[in-house]
Amino acid sequence: MNQPQSWEARAETYSLYGFTDMPSVHQRGTVVVTHGEGPYIVDVHGRRYLDANSGLWNMVAGFDHKGLIEAAKAQYDRFPGYHAFFGRMSDQTVMLSEKLVEVSPFDNGRVFYTNSGSEANDTMVKMLWFLHAAEGKPQKRKILTRWNAYHGVTAVSASMTGKPYNSVFGLPLPGFIHLTCPHYWRYGEEGETEAQFVARLARELEDTITREGADTIAGFFAEPVMGAGGVIPPAKGYFQAILPILRKYDIPMISDEVICGFGRTGNTWGCLTYDFMPDAIISSKNLTAGFFPMGAVILGPDLAKRVEAAVEAIEEFPHGFTASGHPVGCAIALKAIDVVMNEGLAENVRRLAPRFEAGLKRIADRPNIGEYRGIGFMWALEAVKDKPTKTPFDANLSVSERIANTCTDLGLICRPLGQSIVLCPPFILTEAQMDEMFEKLEKALDKVFAEVA
């Protein structure tokens, strides 16, 4: 292998990149990271960046949390790997399932493990197909989600994701139906109040169910706050409007809490923040504070009972991953839950969220910021060409990418999503680090807006 010299050249020569704008990488080079310190990452040149995206939302305790590292080391010493098939599973897996049901919003439940959020959504869909077939409704298979939702990248979870980029794969698969995104600022019609907007979305849901037939719909999946769709909190009263309709037609409601779970919105679950009770929860990312690839399906009492009965009837649920319920992942998750809930991390999110919002409100005074939105430690600023008409910038200007690149040059990692800039820092962020984030962001915004306005 003729090895090129620089880390950047080596990365570009041998790695295939996902979700990466390649012309930008060719021009700017890859940030090759060696380690992290608290909420900062450090690259091969020793440059430090405040990672205001917590990696990919997941490194909520920062990049060097000693307790999590110790928990991982201790479990590697004890028992470094096992599965959860054939009636065997590790003690850590048993303990994590108990803990997840305990901290869930459910009185009772059951847990199934995966390696990622995508696989957890795939698993939930297969579980619903399995359940409905066992209950004599094999045609109850369609899945309802929303435009701008992000549920993952495997063939099924990408079909649930409501993003146009999946058309390059010939997705979505048939039977995946996308409803209107509950973003009032963007999708509310001229003269429509927020309440009328929510009523319209509820009508759309009911019309869709009656058109398709309730007996053909396996489930409805939603993130409490859409994350990778651009940090979109639901319009006021949205979940309260749609849940009774789902209940009326016996359609399970699944809360995809891969981002919102474990503190991101200020509570343990996003469904608590938005005051609704789902039938099941999908968890990943924060579940291990990003220290291990892991996902989980947490069934509430009704689905748990029904799935359990279906499994008993068929004798097995023929599904699972080699590393489902991996003991090291489970030990880390047990520690991560303790860290987030008992070391003041969720508390820090609640304490600093008003400060976060106040900072963004001030920044959003600029004529080229159309909206700031979010909750807890997940926020977005949306760039616009014209504020009163909410007209976006010409896509060819790549405004949000330019802002994010300028931030990177200044030592701040944030993420462009559509025309928005997303900020979702680790929960350990201090006031001083929040100020640093705002200061760098403002510099970048002013530079780019001066170039494009």
Q: Kindly report the CA angle at 133 between 132 and 137, in degrees rounded to 5?
A: 70
Q: Name which of 113, 414, 28 is nearest 292 in CA terms.
A: 113
**Contact call for residue 116 and ligand PMP (CB under 6 A):** yes
Task: Specify the DSSP element, H or E, that contains 26.
Answer: helix 22-28
Which one, 235 or 258, has the nearer CB to ligand PMP?
258
Closest approach of ligand PMP to the CB of residue 228, in Å: 5
Residue 302 makes CB contacts below 8 A (sequence gap 6+) with: 279
Q: How far is the CB of 149 from ligand PMP (least distance, A)?
A: 8
Least distance to ligand PMP, CB of residue 415, Å: 11
Q: Which of 284, 288, 324, 400 is the binder for ligand PMP (CB under 6 A)?
A: 284
Nearer to ligand PMP, 227 or 370 (CB): 227
Cα distance between residue 330 and residue 336, in whole Å: 10
Give residue number: closest CB to ligand PMP: 117
Nearer of residues 202 and 226 to ligand PMP, judged by Cβ:
226
Query: Contact with ligand PMP (CB under 6 A): which of 162, 224, 227, 290?
Result: 227
Say whether residue 125 binds ligand PMP (CB under 6 A). Answer: no
Largest Cα–Cα distance of the chain, in whole Å?
A: 66
DSSP state of 191: T
Relative to beta strand 295-299, strand 280-283 is antiparallel
Q: How far apart are CA 303 and CA 191, in angstroms?
A: 41
DSSP state, residue 225: S
Q: Would you say 21 or 343 has its CB closer to ligand PMP?
A: 21
| Interface with ligand PMP, residue 152, by CB under 6 A | yes
Task: Give the binding-site size for ligand PMP (rule: CB under 6 A).
Answer: 14
Structure tokens at 124: 């939930």
| Beta-bridge mates of residue 253 | 220
416 to each of 36, 107, 399, how far by Cα in Å? 22, 39, 9
Q: How far is the CB of 257 from ligand PMP (least distance, A)?
A: 8
Inter-residue contact 356 to 265 (CB < 8 Å)? no
Residue closer to ligand PMP by CB (options 53, 406) is 53
Task: Rule CB under 6 A: say whether 30 interacts with ligand PMP.
Answer: no
Measured from the CB atom, the residue of 152 and 392 that comes closer to ligand PMP is 152
| 258 versus 407: smaller Cβ distance to ligand PMP | 258
Edge-first strand order for the sheet with 48-51 is 33-37, 40-43, 48-51, 412-413
Cβ distance to ligand PMP smaller for residue 285 or 440: 285
Query: Could you give the 3-state DSSP secondary structure of residue 330?
Result: helix
151 counts as binding ligand PMP under rule CB under 6 A: yes
Binding mask 240-259 for ligand PMP (x = CB under 6 A): ----------------x-xx
CA angle 97, 334, 99 (to 5 degrees): 35
Min CB(310)–ligand PMP separation in Å: 25
Q: Does 150 bind ligand PMP (CB under 6 A)?
A: yes
Interacting residues toward ligand PMP by CB under 6 A? 116-118, 121, 150-152, 223, 227-228, 256, 258-259, 284
